[in-house]
Structure 1
Amino acid sequence: MPKDTGIGASPKRREDVRFLTGKGRYTDDINVAGQAHVVFLRSDVAHGTINGIDTAAAEAMEGVVGVFTAMDFDGVGGIPCGWQITDREGNPMQEPKHPILAEGKVRHVGDPIAAVVAESVSIARDACEAIEVDITSLPAVMDMKKAVQADAPKVHDDLTSNLCYDWGFVEDNRQAVDDAIKSAAHVTTLELVNNRLIANPMEPRVAVGDYARHDDSSTLYTTSQNPHVIRLLMGAFVLGIPEHKLRVVAPDVGGGFGTKIFHYAEEAFCTFAAKQLERPVKWTASRSEAFMSDAHGRDHVTKIELALDADNNFTAVRTETYANMGAYLSTFAPSVPTWLHGTLMAGNYKTPLVYVNVKAVFTNTVPVDAYRGAGRPEATFQLERVVDKAARELGIDPVELRRQNFIREFPYQTPVAVEYDTGDYDATMDKLLEMIDRDGFEARRKESESRGKLRGLGINCYIEACGIAPSKLVGQLGARAGLYESATVRVNATGGLVVMTGSHSHGQGHETSFPQVIADMIGINEDQIEIVHGDTANAPMGMGTYGSRSLAVGGSAMFRATEKIIAKAKKIAAHIMEASDEDIELKDGKFTVAGTDKELAWGDVTLAAYVPHNYPLEDLEPGLEETAFYDPNNFTYPAGAYACEVEVDPETGFVEVLSFAAADDFGNVVNPMIVEGQVHGGLAQGIGQALFENCAYDEDGQLLSASYMDYTMPRAKDLPMFQVDHSCATPCTHNPLGVKGCGEAGAIGSPPSIVNGVLDALASGGHDVGHIDMPLTPAKVWAAMQGTGGTGDGTAHARSVGGPAKNV
């Protein structure tokens, strides 16, 4: 029988009651008395010199409160980058200033030039149109490979070139990898593009700045995945506000997917302007504005080589990647194509030698940073595509080639620094094959052929490193912040608990799953536990939610704090029942003395903590509140095997996803329903990347896919019913819950499944196509079948250039 409560149960998400009844409190719902509204004047050219800005007409308009340009931010810091990378020679990356408003030049379409604060949005918008800006257009730098040539125009004049860094990993392996590839019995080479994406969360970004003159304090309400980090970055590095004078609040947030991790210029502006004007200032992004101001994701061009010996064992992997940084360095941007990508290039396989080279490049585009999966989807896509291509070249079953090279002994030290603590890749593959009825595939293929369609089966594996940590390690790798998590557990006199966590929930279901853990530990009802997050004024310092770290890191901090609570409560119970601490047991909400019939209810002990009439005062302070900071000693390593069946119409190139199965190892699962939902969401986004989504620029840096008219996201009709399984669990060995992350897996494992499936379908029709770059639109697939293009040599989209993707 399924559990009703506690760990392993699937209670309905308690937070959904307010969301589904329209009672959520999002940032745009917050209106501070006396607030004004800001509209940003954004550049409509990708690269240009600002010769002058005339704001006189705008300033004279009725209802305009203030007009700001870069001149008003003299002495204010730029938006900081939170991660520093050193190159192959040990030199630090080139790190340009990222001003709040453009200084001297504009560097991408959407770069904010000026800002108008007015009594209403409409007045501010009209005033923006009255501002006259004299800009001399410069050649836009769009192609990453051309951008690093000596004669390329520079995005930042004060840098030596457009190359942010040239990173090699593991540098000591470089020569050995070269030698292994030269001597290999077979080498498979593949050049591919990981297409640029726009996150498109349900709620666009919003910022509300407020200033209190009486105590010189500032408050920022913002759509953020990590309010404490925003407070630290903005207070210490941009505006110079002491942290005790700066409060950052992230209320209900409608989706993040990574794009709301970062500190943005609009947040700093609203906080700054509120103090300058001594009145609240609010900004709400329009959807079209979000397309050109939210950090984008992916955008890699890669060449990968896989070497095999005569027995088809993997001997070496070598990659060379060009990674687009955009015009500025976003908060975590440098870490995504390096430490979050290179360290996963071993995948599920015991390949002894791996070398990864990444050239990070500045271009005249929106900054690129973490998007769901952040580096791991890029690594998985490269590796799983080249493995599938190798199997086809060698005439080997792609499943058996993978199995032959699986890691089977744990812990396993990879050649790319990380150590996998546990896993069972054969088990997830076995489960997957059971789910998809592979033996019946040929019959289904024949049925498709009878209708003039080509059916393909795509299979792949993945592994990811999430729950990013530990702080000591990431500090050595360039992180400029710790990556611990925190929790304060406060027990009320009547036995209810309030948990204040540094983790932030923006769709993950923390208010449901976190109480399940504590309820299981104590043996009380989950409705006695409240989760509080998102406000730096009442939650301990935490690093927020991203990288599938909420439960593995944030939940572990909560677990440790609750352990402290239980230990203290046992001392109180022991004193009252005149027993030894060691003899006290807590189960089902009752304290008992081992070997006796003595017992005390949870509420009796918590009351005693606050009404200490019979209390061990000489040993314990009254009260029942504890804080814990948890800094894990390793990542967690979810892994799995995915498969899809697709049908291709050879007349049009249209791809239909018929079925999709995901067998994942997430370790211990707290709430199976929430885990399944997280996988569903990730699969939808991964399928979106594979078939529909593409952020496209033209050669002049104009964003061609700047609205939903041109940027195609998957709809319900484009997706099949998913089969999801997470029964093949190998618990994490180094966190107290034994959990692994689940939030990004679907987006990591699904793109290669789709591409492998489409290429398998084409091969069944006699079209031996080596590769097609994502998104696999009908036009690309049809062209590949005709032999007229679409095979993807790693150059066609090196500039993120091409028409908007529409699989219609």
Structure 2
Amino acid sequence: MEKFGMGQPVRRKEDTRLLTGRGNYTDDLKRDGQAHLVVLRSPHAHARILSVDVSEARAAPGVLAVLTADEAAADGIGLFPVMVDVPGKGGTKLAAPARHIFQKDTVRFVGDPVACVVAETRAQAQDAAELIFVDYDILPSITDTGAADAEGAPQIWPEAPRNTCVLWSNGREALADEAFAKAARVSTIRLVQNRLVGNPMEPRVAVGEYDAATGRFTLTSPTQGVVRVREALAQYVFGVDKAQVRVISPDVGGGFGLRGKLFPESAMVLWAAKRLGRPVKWRADRTETFLSDPHGRDHVTEAEMAFDADAKILGMRVRTNAAVGAYLMDFGPRVPTVAGGRILGTVYDMQAVDVQVRCVFTNTVPTDAYRGAGRPETAYVIERLLDLGAPQFGISREEIRARNYIRPEQIPYTNCVGNVIDSGRFEETQGLALKLADWDAFAARRAESAARGKLRGRGLGYFVEASGGQPFEWARVAFQPDGMVNLSVGTFSHGQGHETAFAQLLHEKLGIPFDKVRLVQGDSDLTPNGGGTGGSRSSQMGGVATVRTAELVIQKARRIAATMLEAGVEDIEFEAGRFRVAGTDISTGWDEMIAAGEAPQLDEQHTYRRDTECNFPNGCHVAEVEVDPDTGLVEVVRYAAVDDVGVPINPMLVHGQCHGGIMAGLGQALLEHAQYDPDSGQFLTATFQDYCMPRASDAPSFDLDLNVVPCPSNDLGVKGAGEGGACGAPPAIVSALCDALGVAHIDMPATPEKVWRALAQRVAAE
């Protein structure tokens, strides 16, 4: 237990396989007789389709099929649904236009699928796709999120006036009005949440197979959980029983919230496989990833915060336009509304919070969950308003936060949307982060930077996450005759280290060797239940399901041991893998039971259901930046963070998650921006030549620590850890940059040009 149990920094057991080229990714799969599918996508942001001529493509070398909306209608291919409903202000309903597998009448974003070609080789399919002639009548487009609802803006859907999908409100408008009427000071801001592309290392791939004898589909594709994809394909697309669809996800090279969706291309390969009677494969290249993967963020927000004379928050108003793109993805409109709304107020004691979000259709790629899924956006708005409020009172940024944190004696604290924050020591966590960052010695570092001609600034950002996702999770623990223990879970590891973390839990609970645990995941035939991985839910849901299932195995094994040791069940004690007759040295263990042929009996499964909506990991992040005033180049030179993720299963894995999240946040703060031409609607950043991803050289060494505040609402005391960095880094870095530049605000991404212009404007004003 001292080496491999819960709380130990065990190195990832899966890395040996993955780093030595023995991973099994979807593009490694080569099926016998495999054909290749290529998607023809719209080159226009908005256009009527007058005609589609596929005759030349069908006659091209190697072509097996050309499929369009006509074939889809003839074969009864269903619609792609939004999986959520968002209640509109005043009882209005969510506008959810139908999304077809191919467009027949109108295309609504650059990349909208119009047809597909299936051929013997990928090159032949690509060549044939170029021969499809589509006659388009180009229409006006709207890609500006802030102006999408304006009078006279091009309308994308007739059933969505002013391009409004839904106007959501948390219902506290009157309460906020009362608070602002009493305000001594008010801070205001207009800010942009830049549109992002998740860009997992592994582009999306889908291999479809169909067994005509059984009528069964098999999809092999990277996901964040196979069960929901299986059920959506069965119910909505093909109209078959879910037992007729199998979904397999082998190793997956990154998810970030983007992989847990029902994608048109997944249905295309299954449909084509059924038509042709052979396996069909589709693979995105990087540009197609930009054009077909859901994007994240893309908000335009106006916000204000009211304070009393002592800098205590009285209330907040937020008005946001949030782009959902041309169609609704699975969870698209939920992300900026209900999902982000779960943490309104974050870690601060404020109740008079009035937030209204208008989800707007735009001629862009649909948006959906991306690392944090609404919570980074919420935290960013609050942290920027606090930074702007502090100088109005002549106090520091850390002091204004300290005056407003929810105090320990207020916990459990019901926030302004009714969620109960059940643990956290927020001011203490801030103090630990400032100490780790050597906050008090900043002046000397700033002077040293100035001596080199650089501008140095520091900033902080506090966040709270709402982690948990689906309120149930399934696990199965099954001993094998060879001494291994198969752990099957409904969560899914796409880089987080579940093979290691879950093995630690079983090692501690069952006393079995750490290396005897075999993780089984990503096959709907073997893991038929579960909510997948998203919302940082795996440890608190999959982990708890695992230990509760292990307890069922122990209870069954206690009965087996009683028989083997000729004792009463009530006299059997269990500790560290041994079953002992109380008060004696008579014992047996797992190996003896397996040798006696009892392995098939040591097999239990369990579905864990929690009675809370989510839990609340949180943290304080502190950044220091240097700016070259001649070029506007920004460098993050120091970064410290203290996170509260409850009880860590493996601190090394937690820090790895922090590193990844911080780099995602750094990318948003300084580098990444998916942009469209405002006139033509053309996508301008469809390659890495135009879209700037962060590299290792963009980050300093991170100083990270944990403030362990156990979560009281689950067996393990754990909270989610996967998304905190993406929540904490943007406000901390932007705060530091504003401090360095001496400006109130700068929008993300703070590119060198944008920073240089801000400096030039400041100098001109002086």
TM-score, normalised via structure 1 length? 0.92
| Counterparts in 2 of 1:95 and 1:78: CA distance versus 1, 3 Å | same
The amino acid across from 1:518 in the alignment is L
Number of the residue aligned with 2:538: 550
The answer on 1:716 being equivalent to 2:715 is no
1:591 matched to 2:565? The reply is: no
| 2:765 pairs with 1:787 | no
- Report what 1:619 is aligned to: none
Q: Which amino acid aligns with 2:87?
A: T
Q: Provide the C-alpha distance between the structure 2 equivalents of 1:282 and 1:34, rounded to a whole number of angstroms.
A: 11
**Per-residue deviation at 1:790?**
14
Cα displacement (A) at 1:159: 3.9
The 5 Å alignment of 1:234-273 reads 234-273=233-272
Instruction: Name the SS for the 2:601 alignment partner.
Output: coil
Question: Would the aligned equivalents of 1:203 and 1:254 in 2 still touch at CA under 8 Å?
Answer: yes
Deviation at residue 157 of structure 1 after TM alignment = 3.4
- Given the alignment of the two structures, is residue 760 of structure 1 paired with residue 739 of structure 2, yes or no? yes
Alignment gaps of 5+ in structure 1: 471-483, 612-621, 764-768, 792-808
Change (3 A) 1:223 1:789: farther
Q: Does 1:565 align with 2:553?
A: yes
Shift in Å, 1:788: 7.6
Task: Quote the residue 1:344 is aligned against.
Answer: 343
Q: How much has 1:717 moved relative to structure 2?
A: 1.2
1:474 corresponding residue in structure 2 = none
| 2:210 aligned with 1:207 | no
- Write the distance in 1 (CA, Å) between the matches of 2:60 and 2:455: 63
Q: 2:747 aligns with which of 773, 777, 785?
A: 773
Q: Which residue of 1 aligns with 2:38?
A: 39
Shift of 1:151: 3.0
What letter is aligned with 1:574? A
> Would you say the 8 A contact 1:781–1:790 is kept in 2?
no
Aligned residue in 2 for 1:683: 662
Cα offsets for 1:651-695 (capped at 9, x unmatched):
221111101001001111111111111100111110011000000
Contact 1:494–1:607 (CA under 8 A) maintained in structure 2:
no
Seen in structure 2, the aligned counterparts of structure 1 residues 404 and 788 have a Cα distance that, compared at 3 Å, is closer
Tell me how far apart the structure 1 counterparts of residues 236 and 185 of structure 2 sit (CA, whole Å). 52
Q: Deviations over 1:317-341 (max 9, x none)?
A: 1111110000000111111001211
Correspondence 1:532-543 to 2 at 5 A: 532-543=520-531
The offset of 1:130, in angstroms, is: 0.6
Partner residue of 2:637 out of 644, 652, 658: 658
| 2:457 alignment counterpart | 456
Q: 453-462 or 752-761, which moves further after superposition?
A: 453-462
Query: For the Cα contact (< 8 Å) 1:495–1:607, is it kept in 2?
Result: no
- Contact 1:493/1:603 (CA < 8 Å) preserved in 2? no
Mapped partners of 1:755, 1:244: distance in 2? 50
The equivalent residue for 1:444 is 445
Q: Match of 1:670, as an amino acid?
A: I
Q: Is contact 1:469-1:631 (8 Å) kept?
A: no
**Does residue 519 of structure 1 match 2:507?**
yes
Deviation at 1:495, TM superposition (A): 4.2
Cα 1:430–1:788 shift into 2, 3 Å: closer
1:624 maps to 602
Query: 1:572·1:609 contact (CA, 8 Å) conserved in 2?
Result: no
CA distance in 1 between partners of 2:464 and 2:317 (Å): 18
- Summarize the alignment of residues 287-326 of structure 1 with structure 2, pairs less than 5 Å apart: 287-326=286-325
Residue 585 of structure 1 deviates from its aligned partner by 2.1
Compute the displacement of 1:141 (Å): 1.5
User: Aligned ranges for residues 391-540 of structure 1 at < 5 Å?
Assistant: 391-408=390-407, 409-470=410-471, 484-493=472-481, 495-540=483-528
Aligned to 2:16: 17
The secondary structure found in structure 2 opposite 1:89 is helix
Paired AA for residue 639 in structure 2: F
Contact 1:292 1:706 in 2 (8 A): yes
Q: Quick one: distance in 2 between partners of 1:143 and 1:416?
A: 30
Is the 8 Å Cα contact of residues 95 and 159 (structure 2) preserved in structure 1?
no
Between the aligned residues of both structures, percent identity stands at 45
Q: Deviations over 1:692-749 (max 9, x none)?
A: 00001111211111100000011111110011111x1111111111111111111110
Superposition deviation, residue 162 in structure 1: 1.2
For 1:507 and 1:381, locate their aligned partners in 2 and report how far apart those are by CA, in whole Å: 26
Measure how far apart 1:519 and its partner are. 0.6
- The question of whether the paired residues in 2 share the 8 Å contact of 1:609 and 1:624 is answered with no
Is 2:57 the partner of 1:76? no
> 1:184 matched to which residue of 2?
183
Q: Which residue of 1 aligns with 2:711?
A: 732
Q: 1:245 to 1:89 in 2, by over 3 A?
A: same
**Partner of residue 55, structure 1:** 54
Q: Greater CA deviation, 637-646 or 422-431?
A: 422-431
> Alpha-carbon deviation of 1:181?
1.0
- What is residue 366 of structure 1 aligned with on the other side? 365
Deviation at 1:625, TM superposition (A): 1.2
Whether contact under 8 Å (1:772, 1:790) holds in the other structure is: no
User: Any conservation in 2 of the 1:491–1:624 contact (CA below 8 Å)?
Assistant: yes
Please tell me whether the aligned partners of residues 660 and 725 of structure 2 are also in contact (alpha carbons under 8 angstroms).
yes
- 2:275 is aligned to 276
Which one-letter code corresponds to 1:777 in the other structure?
T
State whether residues 344 and 416 of structure 2, in contact with CA within 8 Å, keep that contact through their aligned partners in structure 1. Answer: no
Relative distance call for 1:211 and 1:407 in structure 2 (3 A) is same
Contact kept? 1:469, 1:632, Cα under 8 Å: no
Please state if 1:577 is matched with 2:565. yes
Offset at residue 232 of structure 1 (A): 0.6
CA distance in 2, matches of 1:218, 1:790: 66
- Give the superposition deviation at 1:624: 1.8
Q: Which residue of 1 aligns with 2:389?
A: 390
Can you list the C-alpha shifts for 1:86-135, whole angstroms capped at 9, x where unaligned?
A: 10122320001111111211100011111000000111011011111000
Whole-angstrom CA distance in 1 between matches of 2:568 and 2:645 = 39
Tell me, yes or no, if structure 1 residue 751 matches structure 2 residue 733.
Answer: no
Question: How far apart in 2 are the matches of 1:782 and 1:392?
Answer: 24
C-alpha distance in 1, partners of 2:764/2:338?
31
CA displacement at 1:609 relative to structure 2:
6.2
Is residue 136 of structure 2 the alignment partner of residue 153 of structure 1? Answer: no
What TM-score results when the alignment is normalised by the length of structure 2?
Answer: 0.97
In 2, the alpha carbon distance for the partners of 1:46 and 1:351 equals 42
Residue pair 1:231, 1:247 contacting (<8 A) in 2 also: yes
Q: Distance in 2 between matches of 1:649 and 1:237?
A: 54
Distance in 2 of aligned mates of 1:308 and 1:609: 70
3-state secondary structure, aligned to 1:292: helix
Task: Report the CA distance shift for 1:790/1:224 in structure 2 as closer, same or farther (over 3 A).
Answer: farther
SS at match of 1:787: helix
For residue 672 of structure 1, what is the amino acid of its counterpart?
P
Q: How many aligned positions are there?
A: 759
Q: What is the RMSD of the two structures over their aligned residues, measured on CA atoms?
A: 1.6
Report how far residue 428 of structure 1 moved. 1.2
